[in-house]
């Protein structure tokens, strides 16, 4: 099943994609795609509704972030062996964890704002895991029981803020609009192997990233279990699991985004995103 949220920012409505790829409104059955509504059994009940009985959403509405109520936006750094190599970094002995502010979250096709003073805004296509029920001290074997599904994220990053301004990475990752999410929350039954998904990203039509989650160092089950040893994971929390090679920082010479650039990205079975980058004026 593919769930989504559509409408104006802050007023999105829940919806589902039917067999013909059309959007069907779920407002009569659920308030939003957040909290207990994200539990795997709750999503299954929504998916069992006769979709032809649901109101058809006409036209091409704006798509919002595919989940609401995200309390924690957790990111994993250097989690692809080939990406670590392109940046000259060593694969860490344990996952690198950092937070991205939830205020960075926007819809998959919303404009992204390059922050004031930025000279090194970069792109990162990533597989995101959406938590469906509270996980604390869970085993790796049971970890996927706590997952609602998966979606695409662009972990937009300002590299100077991230690595040259001292302190932690968070301030280079959390600028407003730096977390496009969606288009869909794809339930885990449609993603039998999250460690075998093609991933790609283009800048102005030029292919920059063309990788696979096969090269992920720490897989989804491990990450959910690992993180749950340090903090409770709650419904709507998002884990962005790292990026394959091809980021601007890793090019020779490095290349970064400027106003007017168009970034498109996608993951096999999870849909695509498209963002135009603009200056913060």
pLDDT tens for each residue of 56-113: 999 999 999 999 999 999 999 989 877 667 777 777 899 999 999 999 999 999 999 9
Residue 205 tokens read as 């039509």
Q: Which domains does the chain have, with CATH numbers?
A: 2-53 (no CATH), 73-279 (3.90.850.10)
Q: Which residue has the higher pLDDT, 90 or 55?
A: 55
Question: Is residue 44 helix, strand or coil?
Answer: helix
- Average pLDDT (195-205) is 97
Band of pLDDT at residue 274, cut at 50, 70 and 90: very high
Q: Is the dihedral of CA 14, 192, 201, 118 positive or negative?
A: positive
Q: What DSSP designation does 196 have?
A: S
Q: Is the dihedral of CA 251, 215, 238, 111 positive or negative?
A: positive
Distance (Å, rounded) from C-alpha 54 to C-alpha 72? 32
Is the confidence at residue 156, as pLDDT, over 80? yes
Looking only at the bridges linking them, the beta strands covering 271-279 and 112-114 are parallel
Rounded to a whole number of angstroms, the CA Rg of the chain reads: 18
Is the confidence at residue 38, as pLDDT, over 80? yes
């Amino acid at each position: 099943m593919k769930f989504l949220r559509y409408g104006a920012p802050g007023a999105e409505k829940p919806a589902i994609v039917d067999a013909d790829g059309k959007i069907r409104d779920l407002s009569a059955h659920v308030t939003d795609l957040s909290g207990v509504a994200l539990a795997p059994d709750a999503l299954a009940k929504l998916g069992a509704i006769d979709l032809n009985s649901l109101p058809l959403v006409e036209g091409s509405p704006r798509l919002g972030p595919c989940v609401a109520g995200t309390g924690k936006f957790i990111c994993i750094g250097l989690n692809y062996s080939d990406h670590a190599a392109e940046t000259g970094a060593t694969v860490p002995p344990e996952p690198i964890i950092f937070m991205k502010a939830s205020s960075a979250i926007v819809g998959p096709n919303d404009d992204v704002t390059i922050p004031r003073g930025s000279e090194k805004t970069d792109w990162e296509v990533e597989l995101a895991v959406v938590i469906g029920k509270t996980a604390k001290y869970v085993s790796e074997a049971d970890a996927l029981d706590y997952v609602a599904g998966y979606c695409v994220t662009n972990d937009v990053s300002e590299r100077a803020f991230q690595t040259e301004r001292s302190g932690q990475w968070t301030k280079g990752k959390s600028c407003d609009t730096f977390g496009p999410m969606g288009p869909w929350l794809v339930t885990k039954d449609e993603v039998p192997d999250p460690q075998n998904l093609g991933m790609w990203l283009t800048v102005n039509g030029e292919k920059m990233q063309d990788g696979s989650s096969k090269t992920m160092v720490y897989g989804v089950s491990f990450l959910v279990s690992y993180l749950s040893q340090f903090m409770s994971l709650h419904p709507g929390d998002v884990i962005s699991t790292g990026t394959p090679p091809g980021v601007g920082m890793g090019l020779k010479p490095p290349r970064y985004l400027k106003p007017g650039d168009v970034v498109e990205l996608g993951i096999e079975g999870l849909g695509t995103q498209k963002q135009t980058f603009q200056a913060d004026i």
